[in-house]
């Protein structure tokens, strides 16, 4: 079974959360889709180590705050006839830092929660992004969710 992670980079502006999303390259899985960061967990890694590595590889960024979203991205993959459960992580990033894309993406942009339906196609990803925004706005990130790295 594949072990995968999702990472949702974000920033907080006044009372609004903005998400950093990325347009996938033409020659990779999910070509031309706007998405968050995602990837495979290497055999020697924990899920959170893989999430931090994927964020760094795909954007050049390290988060100011990194935490486990208290839910998972769950969906059925017919290619492998399995239900995947993917841990999701919130990554608060500094808006002043330069973003350096790898070959998997052709562009990036910041979007507000109001624009999720315009850019994000996967229902579970939208749900997790809304959950993240609600937790951040209500200042309810529990200490148990925060990961030291």
Distance of alpha carbon 74 from alpha carbon 11, whole angstroms: 25
At residue 1 the predicted structure's pLDDT band, cuts being 50, 70 and 90, is low
Total number of domains constituting the chain: 1
Spatial neighbors of 81 by CB under 8 A, at least 6 apart, are: none
Contact 86, 100 (CB under 8 A): no
Distance of alpha carbon 85 from alpha carbon 87, whole angstroms: 7
Distance of alpha carbon 94 from alpha carbon 12, whole angstroms: 10
Query: So what's the pLDDT on residue 136?
Result: 98
Please give the residue range of the domain that contains residue 111.
4-145
Mean pLDDT score across all residues of the chain: 95
SS3 51: helix
**pLDDT tens sequence across 89-111:** 999 999 888 999 999 999 999 99
Instruction: Identify the CATH number of the domain in which residue 128 sits.
Output: 3.90.79.10
């Amino acid at each position: 079974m594949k072990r995968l992670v999702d990472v949702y980079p974000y920033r907080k502006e006044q009372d609004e959360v903005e998400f950093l999303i990325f347009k996938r390259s033409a020659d990779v899985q999910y070509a031309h889709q706007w998405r968050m960061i995602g990837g495979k967990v290497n055999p020697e890694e924990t899920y959170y180590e893989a999430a931090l590595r994927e964020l760094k590889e795909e954007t050049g960024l390290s988060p100011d705050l990194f935490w486990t979203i208290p839910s998972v991205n769950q969906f059925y993959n017919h290619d492998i006839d399995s239900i995947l459960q993917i841990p999701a992580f919130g990554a608060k990033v500094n808006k002043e830092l330069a973003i350096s894309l790898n070959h998997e993406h052709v562009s990036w942009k910041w979007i507000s929660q109001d624009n999720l339906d315009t850019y994000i196609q996967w229902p579970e990803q939208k749900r997790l992004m809304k959950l993240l925004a609600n937790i951040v706005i209500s200042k309810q990130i529990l200490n148990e969710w925060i990961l030291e790295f």
